[in-house]
A and B are shown apart, each in its own frame.
Chain A
Amino acid sequence: MKHLDVIVIGGGHAGAEAAAAAARLGARTALVTLRADAIGVMSCNPAIGGLGKGHLVREIDALDGVMGRAADAAGIQFRLLNRRKGPAVQGPRAQADRKLYRLEMQRLLAAEENLTVVEGEVVDLRMEGQAVTGVVLQDGSEISARSVILTAGTFLNGIIHIGDQRQQGGRMGDHPSVPLAQKLAALDLPRGRLKTGTPPRLSGRSIDWASLEMQPGDDVPVLFSFLNRAPIARQISCGITHTNEATHDIVRANLGRSAMYGGHIEGVGPRYCPSIEDKVVRFADKTSHQVFLEPEGLDDDTVYPNGISTSLPAEVQESYVRSIAGLQNVVILQPGYAIEYDYFDPRSLRPTLELKSIEGLFFAGQINGTTGYEEAAAQGLVAGLNAAARALGRDPIHFSRSDSYIGVMLDDLLTRGVSEPYRMFTSRAEFRLALRADNADQRLTPKGIALGCVREDRRIAFAAKLDLMEQAHAALQARQLSSRDLAGTGITVRQDGARRSGFDLLSFGEEARETVESLFPDFAALPAEIREQVAIDALYAQYLHRQEQDARLLQREEETRLPTDFDYPAMPGLSKELALKLARLRPDTLAQAARIEGMTPAALTLLLAHVRKARRNAASA
């Protein structure tokens, strides 16, 4: 039997990132997945990033993860979303060539020294008491490891629905993972069913492109990785069309035949990814919806029609799709479908994504109730780093709501659980102005360097960037200007006698940029991206300053861990209701406890007091 540090089950987006992260940290790692050539497959839309999601990819990249680099290599159309809004809410997005993405992901994993890929189905976990010690494969072989990460995605008891037809499947063309799902059921973890859907795939040749509005990518593409500057693949445009009344009539007339509306599905679906059935029912007065036609690859005829996912029978899909402008003669290559799958209540997890009840077993990705490649990959990164840390006897690695979207997502999942598939939005981050896609490296790369999961090339590039940033700040602080100095420069300031540095002046926004650069030539001489970044920092400086106190308080509470064996009901002073909630949810930190509904400042003080007491007792014992 092979003995390893970390085993990752599943080669989806969570699994790939987890395996790469564990290996980077120096753990001997195996990635066990059903098909090695399916590593990095995008089950649904051929795109990476977006609002909130793009932030996650940048953070993964800042810790030297693989998603950003693979997306850059495969990107065939780059667009920075919200380009005309503030930089804090801009999110990079790229449409990816499916095949290029898969191949690049497989290449990146193959290049990891400590990583081996094993093809096979995991059917059972090896356990010793309440700790996991390895996995059992379908052929009966076993692999042992100190940490195991499960990233089975939509495969656990997956059921695919098309109209009233249902079949077992992990996604179209793949078997579900049933034996493992049964074993997991026996672990008695709280779980539920969720669902999601995907649109039919169309043949590009059968689309009347000439009649459609086309959307090109950005003139100046913004990439994901801090290490990349320009796209590699040829760039393409997407088509835009719209549904119409006729489309809606067809959908409406066939609602009873939809898997979702015919009552065949028990799982809960995401509200922000409504099927065409949902759209027609819930927004009955809207007569048209936008549909993006996204080519799935440069040498692939398949087109992904973004906006019309469905679980209607195949023949109904054909007739409603053909009612749409430009698609009158379209050929469906693969019908749309809905999929239902098991997920586990993420409130059973620690902030490392290790289960509270089973040592050494980590969960990441869609099985934790999230949706989306980026959410999956970000969790994979966290689980991979922590599984490796555990195996190597190192301290757990934590993320905070105040340092990353990763921290926001973990905290949301762990303290609230999910009631529908969880997706990242920028509005979930209360420190949104500080947690930007542009500064993900400054927020997280130092942490990665300290941990040892960041490689030489990135370390050097990052150090060089920091050096330039320092030069920029020094240049801007070199002179302090009064309102008189500024007269006639185009910047008007209050006559308050205050002297302002170049940095202060940059906070006046885009209009002040040119003047500042003419007044501070040393600053103007620096590379454009450095100037850009400093200008963004200046724009938000006063807000960041105001939030600092909140962030510090939060960090302190996040660092205060609550013992797992606290006897809450026996704590005098806690209301019974609160004590029961605490006993049930077992928050890991004071910060998590603070977000429990009904929690009072006084009760937090009491918890803190008990933490102190427990610590003192432990020290004197």
Chain B
Amino acid sequence: MNTIYALASARGKAGVAVLRLSGPGSHAAVAGLCGPLPEPRRASLRRLVKDGVELDQALVILFPEGESFTGEAAAELHLHGSLAVVQAVMQALAGEHGLRLAEPGEFTRRALENGKLDLAQVEGLADLIEAETEAQRRQALRVLSGAIGRRAEEWREKLIRAAALIEATIDFADEDVPVDVAPEVLALGHAVLADLRREALGGRAAERIRDGFEVAIIGAPNAGKSTLLNALAGREAAITSEIAGTTRDVIEVRMDIRGLAVTLLDTAGLRETEDQVERIGIDRALSRARMADLRVFLISDEALPGIEPEDGDILIRGKADLGGGGVSGKTGQGIAELIEEIGTRLLERSASAGVITRERHRLAIERAIEAMESAMSEVEKGTARAELAAAELRIALRALEALVGRVDVENLLDEIFSSFCIGK
């Protein structure tokens, strides 16, 4: 049984972040960071150190087997709630043998399997799950559109092709398939490998910049979005950068709201149009707005085509200076409250998104790199080890599942049958 860990508290610049570990190796892993262990069930202050570098001063609590939430030996680390600290400690744990990041819902599942969850609580699981699936859907959508999505699609095609070539020489060996597929497999594999390595390197540095929520401001062209955006950015928050899109579709403003990195998106005015170019701009703005974590709808008398508020979105009247309540970029009325509201809603959602996902992706990419490297070296050793190359490639594909989507044997067979004339 693996030992798993995950951030148990909502992320963000809260006072405390709780990291939870569960499984047979959990106590040893904690000992690896803090030295002598405290007595079970006793909160104690410890310095967490990895490779001589102090990561944080944390409260450490150990739970013996049978007396934890999951029923397994478990531990909790109460860290200072900064992203950097949480990240550093999670990375330290990731390097431990036998430890891995928990799958979504895995703590609960272990609790259930060990008979630790009161079955009356089961119904309560439902809400949690609903939230989680919604977050996952959004997550998947975001990964699979945009730049990383396009790259993932390329990886997917190359990996399927590479795996199919190897499988073809295995499963159709006595038929008319090219005998030496190695050059093509190596070319495909190394191309993906180079991309993955770049991603893994760039990933960490870029993470902090990219890591953040997107909030779209939506309204008809004259609803007062731009003044509102300026007001939001100018008064309560620090603008970290301002990028005007090359097209006029989307303007981004990055700011910090209650410790969360937030990108405000000013979408192009939404209206019916005959103009081709404007239509494209509006479509793009719409899809961007749909994928944002939160939408602020500025309501005016004009109807908005093409987008509906979802549960949890903010609806508010703009141009409050003209009377009738709401928010006004011109006078500042309601701005502080709006920022407060955005912060609250994002913090609520942050529990299942953010660091964990990114961390998960980074680990997945690292695992994939390792497997791809072995796969390439097996391919170089010749066809006698084709099944081992295939096994490594499969491990890589499974690791990348969250990024490239699931690749299963049907995809490989499709590729084989469309490229080779096979069959006696």
Contacts and interface: CB of A to CB of B under 8 A. Distances in A.
A538 interface: no
B123 interface: yes
A85 B423 contact: no
A466 interface: no
Among the interface residues A85, A571, A574, which one has the most CB atoms of the partner chain B within 10 A? A85
B417 to A, nearest CB: 4
Among the interface residues B170, B176, B391, B424, which one has the most CB atoms of the partner chain A within 10 A? B424
Interface stretch (B3-11, B102-110, B220-228): B102-110
Contact of B170 (A82, A286, A575, A605): A82
Contacts of B421: 274, 279, 282-283, 286, 289
A88 interface: yes
Given A573-B129, A609-B112, 12 more contacts: A51-B173, A85-B173, A271-B423, A273-B423, A286-B421, A427-B167, A427-B409, A573-B127, A573-B130, A602-B128, A603-B133, A609-B117
A426 interface: yes
B384 A86 contact: yes
Given A86-B384, A601-B106, A272 B423 contact: yes
Interface in A535-555: 543, 546, 549
Contacts of B123: 572
Nearest to B123: A572
B386 interface: yes
Contact of B387 (A85, A572, A602): A85
A97 to B, nearest CB: 19
A205 interface: no
A605 B384 CA distance: 42
A154 B394 CA distance: 36
B132 interface: yes
B147 interface: no
A262 B412 CA distance: 30
A84 B386 CA distance: 10
A215 B77 CA distance: 69
B104 A602 contact: yes
Interface in B96-152: 103-106, 108-109, 112-113, 117, 119, 122-123, 125-130, 132-133, 136
B173 A82 contact: yes
A238 B255 CA distance: 76
A290 interface: yes
Given A82-B173, A600-B104, A603-B133, A430 B122 contact: no
A437 B93 CA distance: 41
A433 interface: yes
A285 to B, nearest CB: 10
A283 B129 CA distance: 49
A566 interface: no
B386 A85 contact: yes
Contacts of A600: 104-105, 129, 132-133, 136
Contact of A601 (B105, B113, B171, B422): B105
Given A543-B388, A572-B126, A271 B417 contact: yes
Nearest to A613: B119
B410 to A, nearest CB: 8
Contacts, number: 141
A289 B176 contact: yes
B112 A612 contact: yes
A396 B31 CA distance: 47
Interface string B399-419: 000000000011011000100
A270 to B, nearest CB: 8
Contacts of B129: 573-574, 600, 602-603, 605-606
A610 B122 contact: yes
B174 interface: yes
Contacts of B417: 271-272
Interface residues of A, number: 54
A290 B177 CA distance: 11
A86 B104 contact: no
B388 A573 contact: no
Among the interface residues A270, A273, A543, A572, which one has the most CB atoms of the partner chain B within 10 A? A572
A82 B175 CA distance: 11
25 contacts: A51-B174, A81-B173, A82-B170, A86-B387, A86-B388, A89-B171, A273-B424, A274-B422, A279-B423, A307-B424, A425-B409, A433-B388, A433-B391, A543-B388, A573-B126, A573-B127, A575-B130, A601-B106, A602-B128, A602-B133, A603-B133, A606-B126, A609-B125, A612-B112, A613-B119
Contacts of B394: 430
Contacts of B410: 416
Contacts of A427: 167, 170-171, 390, 409, 412-413
A426 B170 contact: yes
B271 to A, nearest CB: 33
Closest 7 CB pairs between A and B? A573-B126, A572-B126, A283-B421, A602-B105, A609-B122, A602-B129, A86-B387
A283 B420 CA distance: 8
Contacts of B173: 51, 81-82, 85
A376 B417 CA distance: 23
Interface string B74-98: 0000000000000000000000000
B383 interface: yes
Nearest to A199: B424
A600 B136 CA distance: 9
B2 interface: yes
A450 B229 CA distance: 74
B387 A432 contact: yes
B385 A292 contact: no
Interface in A19-51: 45, 50-51
Interface in A426-453: 426-428, 430, 432-433
Contact of A608 (B109, B126, B128, B387): B109
Contacts of B117: 609
Nearest to A274: B423
B119 A86 contact: no
Nearest to A50: B174
A273 B103 CA distance: 41
Contacts of B112: 605, 608-609, 612
A86 B109 CA distance: 38
Interface in A412-426: 416, 425-426
Nearest to B388: A86
Given A600-B133, A601-B103, A602-B104, A608 B384 contact: no
Among the interface residues B117, B127, B174, B422, which one has the most CB atoms of the partner chain A within 10 A? B174
